[in-house]
Amino acid sequence: MPDTDLRLYNTQEDVFADLVAGRLDMQLNNTLQAIDGFLNTPQGAGFAFLGENLDDVDCLGEGTGIATRKDDPLADEISAAIVALREDGTYQAINDKYFDIDIYSE
């Protein structure tokens, strides 16, 4: 998009303020952050998502993670716990209680 005016911001709140003020036409954001931090607030009234989710790993990185120390034995336990929660349906029940989207895939 050669005619795009790309702007960088110090905080997400500054981005939302410029959207509301009409100084921005659009912005790229994490889905959950956009929903809870903007769209579900009075400030976000009248705004919505446009188009499909961007899943470009080369551009945006790969998913979300939990930080642990290298070689921490808890890393394997955390991974196993997440798999178990997904397999037995607990994850989906918790997700559906708090979110309108599947945050695992966002």
43-74 tens-digit pLDDT:
999 998 887 776 665 665 565 667 788 888 88
Q: Are residues 28 and 45 in the same domain?
A: yes
Domain count of the fold of the chain: 2
Residue 53 sits in a domain whose CATH number is: 3.40.190.10
Q: Are residues 54 and 72 in the same domain?
A: no
Arithmetic mean of pLDDT, 72-96: 90
Residue 40 pLDDT greater than 70, yes or no: yes
**What pLDDT, on a 0 to 100 scale, did the predictor assign at position 6?**
83
Rg value, the chain, Cα: 17
**What pLDDT, on a 0 to 100 scale, did the predictor assign at position 16?**
92
Domain span at residue 95 reads: 64-106
Q: Are residues 45 and 72 in the same domain?
A: no
Q: Are residues 2 and 52 in the same domain?
A: yes
